Amino acid sequence: MDFAFGPQDEVFRREARAWLREHLVGAPARRDWERELGRGGWIGLGWDEGGYGNRRADLTRQVVWAEEYARSKAPARSGHIGENLLAPTLVAHGTPEQKRRFLPPIAQGRELWCQGYSEPGAGSDLAGIRTTALRTPLGEGTPVGASAVPAADAEASALGTTAVPAVDAGASAVGATAVRDTGAAPEGVFRVTGQKIWTSLAHEADWCFVLARTEPGSTRHHGLSFLLVPMDQPGRVEVRPIRQLTGTSEFNEVFFDGAVARAEHVVGGEGNGWRVAMSLLGFERGVSTLAQQIRFAEELGRVLRTAVATGAAMDPVVRDRLVRLWAELRTMRWNALRTLGSSESLADAGVPSVAKLLWGGWHRRLGELAMQVRGTGAAVGPADWSAALPYELDAAQHLFLFSRADTIYGGSDEIQRTIIAERTLGLPKEPRG
The residues annotated with a catalytic role in the active site are 284
CB 60 within 8 A of CB 9: yes
What's the number of CA atoms in the CB half-sphere (13 Å) around residue 185?
Answer: 7
Q: What single letter denotes the amino acid at residue 29?
A: A
Phi, psi of 37 (to 5 degrees): -60, -40
* Burial class of residue 32 (count of CB atoms within 10 Å of its CB; 0-12, 13-18, 19+): exposed
Rounded distance between C-alpha atoms, residue 275 and residue 296, angstroms: 33
CB 147 within 8 A of CB 163: yes
* Burial class of residue 310 (count of CB atoms within 10 Å of its CB; 0-12, 13-18, 19+): middle
What's the number of CA atoms in the CB half-sphere (13 Å) around residue 212?
Answer: 31
For the chain, first and last CA: distance in Å? 42
Rounded distance between C-alpha atoms, residue 326 and residue 362, angstroms: 10
Residue 254's CB is within 10 A of a number of other CB atoms, namely: 26
Residue 212 pairs with which residues in a beta bridge? 225
Q: Residue 20: enclosing H or E segment and its boundaries?
A: helix 7-23
Rounded distance between C-alpha atoms, residue 132 and residue 139, angstroms: 19
Strands (E), 37-121: 113-116
Q: What single letter denotes the amino acid at residue 119?
A: E
**DSSP H helix total and E strand total for the chain:** 14, 8
DSSP-derived 3-state class of residue 298? helix
